[in-house]
Structure 1
Amino acid sequence: MLIVLFALWQLIVIPPALAAETVNAAKIFNANCASCHIGGGNVLIPQKTLKKEALSKYLDNYNSDSIEAIIYQVKNGKNAMPAFKNKLTTEEILQVAAYIFQKAEQGW
């Protein structure tokens, strides 16, 4: 939990780190997630997008619209979504989860 909060703090509070981390996170997202979630959407199940309202409704771990829930989903997958815990490093998962959280907050 502390690592998650620190990673999120770095992405939100430190502008130079934000720029560098966002670029890397965007690359990770585009390489691994965008085929199903382009622009925050969902090509398989249209209502289960990465938009804030959908995250609040469909993520069922922790506080449903929290970064922890996003990390859990990325790591473990669910239904049609594959697990990425064996494909991405812990740092990459944190970065992409923070990216998704940030983009959802911004409305994609």
Structure 2
Amino acid sequence: MRHFLSLALAAMVALLSPSVVSAADAAHGEQIFSANCAACHMGGGNVVNGQRTLQQDDLKAYLANYNEGHEEAIAYQVTNGKNGMPAFGGKLGPDDIADVAAYVESQSINGWT
């Protein structure tokens, strides 16, 4: 029984550890955003298409799968681009993109204040 409990505990730790280790860093995302995104999206706006801002209502309206996973949908857009937005998947690594997505999501929730 003790062996079984040890295995169960080890399995739980293994399942929980990746999410802790890979948690996105919104503070780092702010730095990445400032260096790569702010020219077009300063303050959550959009200089190319004013109707496609980074405000939460706009993200809900035009980002595919936003309601199923906010940060994942943002990361997909950043990685692949679309229409006037360039793809950053070749320029930024997956961790940087996850951090930007976390930053954009946190700002959209707070109204970019």
TM-score tier after normalising by the smaller chain length:
0.7 to 0.9
CA contact (8 A) 1:26 1:99 kept: yes
Separation of aligned partners in 2, 1:33 and 1:92? 12
8 Å CA contact 1:47–1:54 kept in 2: the answer is yes
The 1:64–1:40 alpha-carbon spacing in structure 2 relative to 1, beyond 3 Å, is farther
Taking a change above 3 Å as real, the CA distance of residues 65 and 43 of structure 1, as seen in their structure-2 partners, is farther
The 1:31/1:105 distance shift into structure 2, 3 A limit, reads same
1:82 aligns with 2:95: no
**What are the ranges of 5 or more consecutive residues in structure 2 without an aligned counterpart?**
1-14
Deviation at 1:25, TM superposition (A): 1.3
- In the alignment, is residue 27 of structure 1 matched against residue 55 of structure 2? no
Length-normalised TM-score, structure 2 = 0.75
SS of aligned partner of 1:47: coil
Change (3 A) 1:23 1:66: closer
Comparing both chains, which one has the higher relative contact order based on Cα–Cα distances under 8 Å and sequence gaps of 6 or more? 2
Consecutive unaligned residues in structure 1, runs of 5 or more: 12-20
Count residues with an aligned counterpart. Answer: 95
Give me the TM-score of the superposition, normalised by structure 1: 0.78
- Give the alignment's Cα RMSD to 1 decimal: 2.3
* Pair 1:56 & 2:56 matched: no
Identity %: 48
Cα deviation per residue 1:39-78 (whole Å; 9 max; x = unaligned)?
Answer: 0000010010000000000102353671111010000000
Q: Identify the residue that residue 4 of structure 2 maps to in structure 1.
A: none
Which is higher, the Rg of structure 1 or of structure 2? 2
